[in-house]
Amino acid sequence: MLQESGKKIIILYILQILRKYTDANHPMTQQQIADRLGNEYGMAVNRATVKRNIADLIDAEYPISYREVTRSHVDRKTGEKEENTIYTNLYYEHDFTESELHMLIDGLLFSRSVPYKQRKQLIDKLGKLSSAYFNQRMNHLHCMSADSPQNPELFHTIEVLDEAIAEGKQVRITYCYYGTDLKLHKARNEDGTEKRQTLNPYQMVASEGRYYLICNNDHYDTVANYRIDRIANIEKLDEAAKPMNRVGGLENGLNLQDYVYQNLNMFSGKAADAEFIIPKGSVSLVIDFFGKHVSFCEQADGNISCRLKVSIEAMKRWAVQFGSTVRVVSPPELVEAIREEIRKTAANYETE
């Protein structure tokens, strides 16, 4: 006989068994659950006990899928025919499908900002959101070690920024740079003291595997993007953050999707309407980088004219990167900036 405490806890054990060992591809019967209770928890129970507890879980609206089967039998004492309904094909409906978890895990596997140790911990936690069968396949995944220096303060920085943004407060930080020793070094003033900066934080965003803070340096009136993984010694201040409408580039608020596309690779700066020409076969390249934020017009010579609003600095870097394919034609200031960049590049390769 189960003691009273055992009877109360059995429902939790059944829930744990369903979460751990079942999914849509691996359902269980009442008898299989009873067997698990005996093998793993030393509880000898019958199918009727399992059925009663499962019914309570279903009534409590736990996401348990099942199929009801009605079976007939003859009562040995009365000789009368009776019908009994049982639950079968029982499984727990997990919050995430396996494909959804794979997508989340892949994002962590190839993240360049999250430190290696935290990546492994997060992936292990994600794996526990599904059944043991998914976790068995997790053994085939390998979390690559960091190929660049990692900032152990990253998660703490994100937490503080999240609080500051929600409360509309300023933060004070130290910005860092990488040295040839593969370590992060804090920026310093001329006298050697740590250089502190006061920022007005507005939004965090992930782009190209990196985390960025869209903000304003309190000493200036323009928008800026800071790499969050290069921020150290962050502290939230009591002072209210500068309103967005006082920041150049954010006068009309922040449309995050437009902002990310206009500031390719998170290069901030003045945005302008740009036009560039590409061969017809390079449309996919443009869409990969700019999505639906670019308009196309086929020209008489078969080339494609592309127009979009984009950061001058971001467009310059992108156009130089794909200089053999892309030819920018406007605005004039962007064309001249690209020419100057190409001249500097060519001079860098000239031989004496």
Region 217-233: what's the mean pLDDT? Answer: 91
Average pLDDT, the chain: 84
| pLDDT for residue 230 is more than 70 | yes
User: Which of 277, 291, 292, 279 minimizes the C-alpha distance to 330?
Assistant: 277
Query: Do residues 269 and 245 lie in contact, with contact meaning Cβ atoms separated by under 8 Å?
Result: no
Query: Do residues 68 and 33 lie in contact, with contact meaning Cβ atoms separated by under 8 Å?
Result: no
pLDDT of 146 reads 52
Query: Model-level pTM?
Result: 0.57
| pLDDT for residue 143 is more than 60 | no
| pLDDT for residue 233 is more than 90 | yes
CB-count exposure of residue 187 (10 Å: 0-12, 13-18, 19+): middle
- Which of 36-45, 149-158, 307-316 has the highest mean predicted lDDT (pLDDT)? 36-45
Q: What is the CATH architecture assignment of 4-92?
A: Orthogonal Bundle (1.10)
| pLDDT for residue 266 is more than 80 | no
User: Which of 10, 97, 3 minimizes the C-alpha distance to 56?
Assistant: 10
| pLDDT for residue 111 is more than 80 | no
Distance CA 279, CA 303 (A): 5
- Higher-confidence residue of 237 and 109: namely 237
Distance CA 41, CA 79 (A): 37
Reduced to 3 states, what is the DSSP secondary structure of residue 200? Answer: strand
Confidence band, pLDDT 50/70/90 cuts, at residue 37: very high
pLDDT of 197 reads 96
Q: Quick one: what percent of the chain has pLDDT higher than 90?
A: 44
Given the structure tokens 């409360």, which residue do they identify?
Answer: 167
| pLDDT for residue 307 is more than 80 | yes
| pLDDT for residue 180 is more than 80 | no
CA 69 vs CA 49, 141, 229, 275: distances in Å:
17, 40, 56, 67
CA 306 vs CA 19, 196, 266, 347: distances in Å:
52, 42, 21, 30
| Bridge partners, residue 255, by sequence | none
Question: Six-digit token pair at 348?
Answer: 């860098």
Question: Six-digit token pair at 114?
Answer: 């999250």
Q: What is the CATH architecture assignment of 267-348?
A: 2-Layer Sandwich (3.30)
* Residue ranges matching CATH 3.30.70 in the chain: 267-348
* Residue ranges matching CATH 1.10.10.10 in the chain: 4-92
Query: Do residues 51 and 86 lie in contact, with contact meaning Cβ atoms separated by under 8 Å?
Result: yes
Q: Quick one: what percent of the chain has pLDDT higher than 70?
A: 86
pLDDT of 169 reads 96
